[in-house]
């Protein structure tokens, strides 16, 4: 339970108690009381979520119960065969990748994979990919192109793993090579930011024909904590940094950096995985149909132009130069 | 260019310990291009916008940019243009570390992207010299996307069979290392230059397998297999010229493309 | 095929410890293909020549081949053909370990190469099952060259967008691991199978970084990032079928290509 | 000095002594005596080298003074820029690779690199490539294709490095991927076996449009020692294995597995690097001119057919199957 959700706790507790009472005494009539409480919960939830601060969204995006890549794959795909390894160095559990079927269509999927338990998170390095994880995804991107399969990527990472060992195996090179490959891939690529889109580690899976973003996901050049440490010299200013960075889905849609905000169920995706996945499927299916109808040359050209346009600039007075 | 006499003697390299001091973009350009100076700058007027209306406690982003412009006499953290290198016209992009730590924002990315596109149109090799702290925080996700767009532009060059050489100078970090710098055909590090992905983060490294040199220096990064060569400044022009000659043995007739006219104010400018 | 009833029960897998015993090519084919058996063998008559007139103290190479033929009722260390797998026609090559330790000579390489070419012509997916000690010494450099030619044939399949799945059974070693097996799009290991490059050489390994499983088993090789999956025999047919369906969602109409006629004695035979 | 060269020792010593005497006493006339001795040395060298056993050729191919890849590059190429690293894991000194110029033509070169001193040999792992060395070569093959440069490879290795660490990084996968890439490379590839062509580690650089072999080089499916251990259960039978394996250049030319034998200077390449390199250059220059004139599609097709034809087989009586 996140701090800002506490105002709803009391209501939820009263509803639970009422339902327990009714179970104990089947003759009691709680229908009316329950309906009132539920209406109030809905209203207050809607109110709370309509006015989330950026920092609250960061917390939602990182919610320990938030659905992760595998949770979405499970619900979106009728078949999933996870494939392993980069054929060079290792297999990285921080990246999940494989072959799947979405609405009867074969696709390649790849995403950052966070754990839910501590042990699982240690194994998965909290979703922070090693170079070999990004290279596993790269291998599957190549496979997608070879067989003409569209690619779906799921972004959910605090960033790429930054240790000395990751530097030794060329973390920067892995990120750059993935971006270059995705930019030129001759098959449709759809990017979905499902939780935390953190920095270059996210962007290594983030170059696509369309970028969708879940309503409460965030996507940022740096974590609010890191930005606060740089800008305010104090990571306690993370909430300020979160606001300043404009990292929420609605902000990024306005900025033209993403294409679509996918609505989450009331109270956030972590309260209802199935609805979260169904909302995503609603967007995904027509998008796949549309993109798969395009010529590869056109796709690659349009993808280049799409990212080509990202970046504001202006003209200095000629005297300065 | 006006620095030429003094660095001609020292190249900002300590004769005692081979320490390679940082250079300005102008010094770099003079170091790399042939005599007489042939550099024709492109897109010099492109400068940062403020898409996030970003405020630091120390002031607004436009204030920082204004200070950087005053300090460097440049409008952005990269200087782009064309000139003669080893008797052949190349497109050259040199980062200006003095401009907000060489950080990459939308205008920086725009200039680098235009440089690759310019080279593609004229079928020229590209040389970049990187010196950067990474993505420019003040532009938020716009800054991150410069990694994607500059890398995509570089990738098109390779498809067209045009060579691309990157010289990683001190420091080459984070969002620049991990984008257009890393995808060069041949990568040259300057002696002692810090080259790494993780910026100021604390890194707990214990394993030291193969490293008789200091972590994250160009020499170390070469040992890890990530860059091709570590080349002293005195040899840099010659080495870059040899690499380009080897990769593009049959260039578009040398000297033929006259120095490009500065383009009119770009219609692509969005702000 | 006649083995079917008995392995249907056990699949040669120990119910107590999951030990996967080696299988003959016939058992493998029955394991992988749909019921009813649909296998049509190709090139069954291709067998080893003796280009080096090779003599071991224990006898001539033709003697060894003759013994292997008697033992296995096969003419070579691989059985190739076409059949239905998951309702779709595939080209299938299964190595026969009982035939001179599944070693790869000129005839073995010829059959594997023809299989890839057959699949290319008919636009079929390819499935191979490897079980081999590596290149066949008795054919000297001819044997080594089978690595190049089978790998080249496999590479053409990928260029044509046809899927290729390799199942590495126990043991997959040296010249087979390092050729057509390793370049498959998807590689599946059998539980406990030994998969390695170095054959019987003494290997001085001290570093055990990430290995809670025994070195050189399929499980270990998967941890090293080299194979995609380790799949129990009971699940093998289903998994291979799913992989092929995922990679080739729009196959040439299933069942349509009738079982190929055995080709006339090949004019390519050189001996 | 190899064992079988000893019969020439005495003659060489007498020539040396005569020359020393003449230096000490400028008035002595040794012209005639020297001429006789030198003729005899030539005759006996020619005789010895005309009748080399396969095992003697193995020893020559491994001669510590034999010219290695860098010795040939130095003499064949007017420019050489060594490039480093696979951009993934490391830089392997057992493989030398880079950009060079041969007869005014830009080429990519890659070869196994043995050392001459013990320290150098340890650093270079006796020319036994690690996976990252083969992947460095692979990176340069890709570069050659991108820029339309022909590739020259130099084979000189006992085999690929076979340790547990090499297995961990996918030695088999590295070899196979290199062969696949070379087989399909859309630019000319010329392979030169300069010393020991050992097994898969050699073949990883060995798939080309033409395969040249120095006169006393060897090329084999396994080292004679390894083959003897397998076949005779005793590596002392290496000389027998060397004979049985037919690993000499003339044998392999007859078998159709190589295209050309490049003559070595009298007494072997180790006696005269310059002549060895000049003989190679004589073959190489017209070959490069020829291959560079071909269409890439034709090159790839012909290369496929070339290796396609390597392998003898026969038809068993139909009854057996
Ligand atoms: Zn000093
Ligand atoms: Zn058991």
> How much is the pLDDT for B210?
45
A244 interfaces chain C, CB cutoff of 8 Å:
no
Report residue A73's pLDDT band, with 50, 70 and 90 as the boundaries.
Answer: very high
Cβ count near C132 (within 10 Å): 29
Q: Strand D95-102 to strand D79-82: parallel, antiparallel, or no bridges (unpaired)?
A: antiparallel
β-pairing, B229-230 with C40-42?
unpaired
Ligand 1 centroid – CA B214 distance (Å): 17
Report the separation in Å between the CA atom of C187 and the middle of ligand 2, taken as the mean of its atom positions.
25
Look at residue D27 and tell me whether its pLDDT is greater than 90: no
Q: Residue B218 C-alpha to ligand 1 middle, in angstroms?
A: 18
Same domain, A163 and A193: yes
Q: Is D16 in the same domain as D132?
A: no
Q: From the CB of residue C144, how many other CB atoms can be counted at a distance below 10 Å? A: 29
Alpha-carbon distance of C76 to D117, in angstroms, equals 46
Mutate to test the interface with D, among B154, B211, B228 (most CBs of D within 10 A): B228
Question: Are both D35 and D83 inside the same structural domain?
Answer: no
Contacts of A87 in chain D (CB under 8 A): 170, 173, 177
Residue among C200, C201, C223 at smallest CA distance from C211: C223
CB < 8 Å to C133, chain D: none
Note whether A84 and A152 are same-domain residues: yes
Contact A106 C224 (CB under 8 A): no
What is the pLDDT confidence band of residue A10, given thresholds at 50, 70 and 90? confident
Q: What is the pLDDT of residue A33?
A: 86
Same domain, A100 and A21: no
Distance B18 CA to ligand 1 centre (A): 6
- Exposure of A108 by Cβ count < 10 A (0-12 exposed, 13-18 middle, 19+ buried)? buried
> Is the separation of the CB atoms in D130 and D90 below 8 Å?
yes
A172 to chain B: which residues are within 8 Å by CB? 174, 177-178, 181-182, 196-197, 226
B/e letters for A182-206, b = 16+ CB within 10 Å, e = fewer, are bbbbebbbbbbbbbbbbbbbbbbbb
DSSP symbols for C18-38: --B----HHHHHHHHSPSSP-
Phi, psi angles (nearest 5°) of residue A285: -60, -55
Instruction: Tell which A residues from 193 to 222 touch B, by Cβ distance under 8 Å.
Output: 199-200, 203, 206-207, 219-222
User: How confident is the model over A193-206, as pLDDT tens digits?
Assistant: 999 999 999 999 99
Beta bridge partners of D218: D196, D248
- pLDDT, mean of residues C136-155: 97
Q: Is D56 a residue whose pLDDT tops 50? A: yes
B196 chain-A contacts, CB cut-off 8 A: 167, 172
Q: Mutation target for A interface from D88, D92, D142, D166: give the one with most A CBs within 10 A.
A: D88
Q: Do the Cβ atoms of A163 and B205 come within 8 Å?
A: yes
Beta-carbon separation of D170 and C109 below 8 A: no
Task: Identify the residue among D85, D89, D138 best suited for mutation to test binding to A, counting A beta carbons within 10 A and taking the highest.
Answer: D89
Residues 6+ apart with CB under 8 A from D186: D145, D296, D297, D299, D300
**Identity of the residue in A172, A309, A313 whose CB atom sits nearest the CB atom of B46:** A313
Residues D203 and D86 in one domain: yes
Q: Is C87 exposed, middle or buried (0-12, 13-18, 19+ CB in 10 A)?
A: exposed
Check residue C264 and give its pLDDT: 44
pLDDT of residue B9: 66
Contacts of A186 (CB under 8 A, 6+ apart): A145, A296, A297, A299, A300
Shared domain for A28 and A168, answered yes or no, is no
Pairing type for strands B126-132 and A210-214 reads: unpaired
Tell which wins on pLDDT, B22 or D7. Answer: B22
Cα–Cα distance, C179 to C78 (Å, whole number): 15
Instruction: With CA atoms as reference, report the closest residue to A82 among A68, A72, A97, A95.
Output: A97
The verdict on a CB contact (< 8 Å) between D160 and C69 is no
Candidates C158, C226, C245; nearest CB to A146: C158
Q: How far apart are CA D266 and CA D45, in angstroms?
A: 7
Following CA atoms B132, B136, B141, B145 in sequence, which dihedral angle do they give, to the nearest 10 degrees? -30
Q: What is the pLDDT of residue B232?
A: 95
**Count of structural domains, chain D:** 2
C2: confidence class by pLDDT, cuts 50, 70, 90 = very low
Predicted confidence (pLDDT) per residue in C76-126, tens digit: 999 999 999 999 999 999 999 999 999 999 999 999 999 999 999 999 999
> D41 exposed, middle or buried (CB, 10 Å; 0-12, 13-18, 19+)?
middle
Q: Which of B225, B242, B244 to mutate to test the interface with D (most CBs of D within 10 A)?
A: B225
Length of chain A: 321
Better-predicted residue by pLDDT, A105 or B204: A105
Name the closest ligand to CA C16. Answer: 2
Q: Is B136:B164 a contact under the CB 8 Å cutoff?
A: no
Q: Which residues of chain C make contact with D134, given a CB cutoff of 8 A?
A: none
pLDDT band at C7 (very low <50, low <70, confident <90, very high): low
How far is A304 from chain B, CA to nearest CA, in Å? 7
Q: Spell out the domain ranges in chain C.
A: 23-270
Interface test with A, best of C221, C246, C250 (most A CBs within 10 A): C246
Q: Between chains, do C152 and D167 touch, taking CB under 8 Å as contact?
A: no
Residues A183 and A201 in one domain: yes
pLDDT, tens only, D122-131: 999 999 999 9
Count, residues in chain C:
271
DSSP classification of residue C102 = G
Residue of D81, D91, D106 lying closest to B225 (CB–CB): D91
- Taking contacts as CB-CB distances below 8 angstroms, the residues of chain B near A180 are 151-152, 154-155, 183
- Give the Cβ contact number of residue B138 at 10 Å: 28
From the list A179, A313, A316, which residue is nearest B147 (CB)? A179
Distance C237 CA to ligand 2 centre (A): 23
Residues A19 and A82 in one domain: no
State whether A135 and D173 contact (CB < 8 Å).
Answer: no
Q: What pLDDT is recorded for position D195?
A: 98
Structure confidence at residue D136 as a pLDDT band (50, 70, 90): very high
Q: Is the pLDDT of residue D217 over 50?
A: yes
Q: Give the separation between CA A218 and CA D80, rounded to whole angstroms.
A: 50
Q: Is residue A74 included in any domain, yes or no?
A: yes
Provide the pLDDT for residue C6. Answer: 56
Tell me, yes or no, whether A68 and A38 share the same domain. no
SS3 category, D296: helix
| Interface residues on B facing D, Cβ-Cβ cutoff 8 A | 158, 161, 163, 182, 185-186, 210, 222-229, 239, 242-243, 245-249
In order, the DSSP letters of D262-284 are EPPPTT-GGG-HHHHHHHHHHHH
**Could you tell me which of D311, D226, D55 has the C-alpha nearest to residue C51?**
D311
pLDDT tens per residue across span C15-47? 878 889 999 999 999 999 998 888 999 999 999
Q: Which ligand is nearest to the CA of C21?
A: 2
Q: Is A181 on the interface with D (CB under 8 A)?
A: no
> What is the distance between the terminal CA atoms of chain C, rounded to a whole angstrom?
31
Per-residue pLDDT tens over the stretch D29-40: 788 888 888 888
Element (H, E) at B92: strand B88-95
Q: Give D93-131 pLDDT, tens digit per residue.
A: 999 999 999 999 999 999 999 999 999 999 999 999 999
Interface membership of D285 toward B (CB under 8 Å): no
Whether A46 maps to a domain, the answer reads yes
**Least trusted range by pLDDT, from A21-30, C51-60, D205-214, D245-254:** A21-30
Q: Is D261 on the interface with B (CB under 8 A)?
A: no
Supply the ipTM of this predicted assembly: 0.93
| pLDDT at residue number C245 | 96
> What local confidence, expressed as pLDDT, does residue A319 receive?
52
Q: Is D171 on the interface with C (CB under 8 A)?
A: yes
Give the domain extent around A44.
Answer: 10-51
Which residues in chain A are closer than 8 Å to C182, comparing Cβ atoms? 87
Q: Are residues A47 and A72 in the same domain?
A: no
Within a domain: residue D191? yes
**Which residues, given as ranges, of chain B have pLDDT below 50?**
1-4, 200-211, 253-271
Beta bridge partners of B172: B132, B195
A293 found inside a domain:
yes
Q: Rounded to a whole number, what is the distance in Å from the CA of D256 to chain C's nearest CA? A: 10
* D81 found inside a domain: yes
SS3 C55: strand
Question: Which candidate, D227, D205, D185, D229, places its Cα nearest to that of D128?
Answer: D205
Segment among B167-181, C242-256, D2-16 with least mean pLDDT? C242-256
Q: Which of D89, D90, D99 sits opposite B247 (nearest CB)?
A: D99
CA dihedral D231, D237, D242, D246 (to 10 degrees): -40
A14 and A70 share one domain: no
b/e for B248-269, b at 16 or more Cβ within 10 A?
beebeeeeeeeebeeeeeeeee
Rounded CA separation D246/D240 (Å): 10
Q: Which chains touch B (3 or more CB pairs under 8 A)?
A: A, D
Band (pLDDT 50/70/90 cuts) for residue D26 is confident
D173 inside 8 A of chain A by CB:
yes
CATH 1.10.287.180 for the C23-270 domain, yes or no: no
CATH number for the domain harbouring residue D85: 3.90.226.10
pLDDT at A51 > cutoff 70: yes
Question: Is residue A222 scored above 60 in pLDDT?
Answer: yes
Question: CB neighbours (10 Å) of residue C143?
Answer: 26
Q: Which residues of A touch B107 (CB under 8 A)?
A: 311-314
Identify the H or E element spanning C83.
Answer: strand C78-85
């Amino acid at each position: 339970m996140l701090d800002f959700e506490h105002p709803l706790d009391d209501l939820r507790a009263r509803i639970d108690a009422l339902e327990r009472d009714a179970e104990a005494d089947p003759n009691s009539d709680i229908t009316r009381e329950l309906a009132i409480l539920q209406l109030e919960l809905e209203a207050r939830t809607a109110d709370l979520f309509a006015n989330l601060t950026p920092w609250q969204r960061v917390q939602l995006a990182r919610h320990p119960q938030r659905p992760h890549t595998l949770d979405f794959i499970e619900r979106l795909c009728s078949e999933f065969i996870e494939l392993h390894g980069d054929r060079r160095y290792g297999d990285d559990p921080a990246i999940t990748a494989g072959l799947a079927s979405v609405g009867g269509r074969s696709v390649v999927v790849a995403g950052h994979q966070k754990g839910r338990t501590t042990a699982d998170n240690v194994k998965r390095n909290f979703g922070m990919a090693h170079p070999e994880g990004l290279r596993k995804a790269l291998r599957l991107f190549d496979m997608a192109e070879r067989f003409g399969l569209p690619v779906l990527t799921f972004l959910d990472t605090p960033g790429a793993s930054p240790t000395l060992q990751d530097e030794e195996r060329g973390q920067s090179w892995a990120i750059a090579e993935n971006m270059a490959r995705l930019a030129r891939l001759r098959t449709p690529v759809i990017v979905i930011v499902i939780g935390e889109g953190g920095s270059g580690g996210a962007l290594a899976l983030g170059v696509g024909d369309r970028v969708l973003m879940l309503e409460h996901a965030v996507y940022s050049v740096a974590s609010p904590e890191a930005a606060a440490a740089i800008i305010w010299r104090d990571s306690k200013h993370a909430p300020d940094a979160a606001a300043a960075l404009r990292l929420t889905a609605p902000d990024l849609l306005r900025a033209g950096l993403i294409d679509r905000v996918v609505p989450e169920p009331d109270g956030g995706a972590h309260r209802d995985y199935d609805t979260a996945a169904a909302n995503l499927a609603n967007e995904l299916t027509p998008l796949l149909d549309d993109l798969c109808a395009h010529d590869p040359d056109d796709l690659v050209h349009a993808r280049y132009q799409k990212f080509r346009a990202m970046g504001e600039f202006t003209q200095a007075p000629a005297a300065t130069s | 260019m006006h620095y030429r006499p003094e660095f001609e003697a020292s190249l900002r390299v300590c004769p005692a310990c081979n320490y390679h001091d940082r250079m300005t973009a102008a010094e770099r350009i003079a170091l790399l291009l042939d005599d007489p100076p042939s550099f024709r700058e492109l897109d010099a007027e492109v400068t940062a916008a403020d898409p996030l209306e970003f405020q630091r406690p120390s002031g607004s982003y436009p204030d920082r940019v204004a200070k950087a412009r005053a300090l460097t006499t440049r409008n952005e953290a990269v200087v782009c243009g064309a000139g003669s290198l080893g008797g052949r016209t190349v497109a050259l992009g040199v980062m200006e570390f003095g401009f907000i730590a060489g950080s990459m924002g939308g205008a920086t990315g725009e200039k680098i992207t235009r440089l690759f596109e310019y080279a593609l149109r004229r079928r020229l090799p590209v040389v970049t010299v990187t010196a950067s702290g990474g993505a420019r925080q003040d532009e938020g996700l716009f800054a991150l996307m410069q990694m994607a767009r500059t890398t995509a532009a570089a990738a098109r060059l390779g498809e067209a069979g045009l060579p691309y050489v990157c010289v990683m100078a001190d420091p080459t970090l984070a969002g620049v290392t991990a984008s257009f710098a890393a995808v060069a055909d041949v990568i040259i590090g300057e002696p002692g230059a810090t080259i790494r992905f993780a910026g100021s983060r604390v890194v707990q490294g214990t394993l030291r397998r193969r490293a008789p040199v200091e972590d994250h220096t160009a020499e170390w990064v070469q040992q890890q297999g990530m860059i091709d060569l570590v080349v002293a400044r005195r040899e840099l022009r010659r080495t870059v010229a040899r690499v380009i000659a080897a990769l593009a043995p049959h260039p578009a007739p040398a000297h033929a493309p006259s120095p490009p006219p500065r383009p009119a104010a770009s219609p692509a400018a969005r702000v």
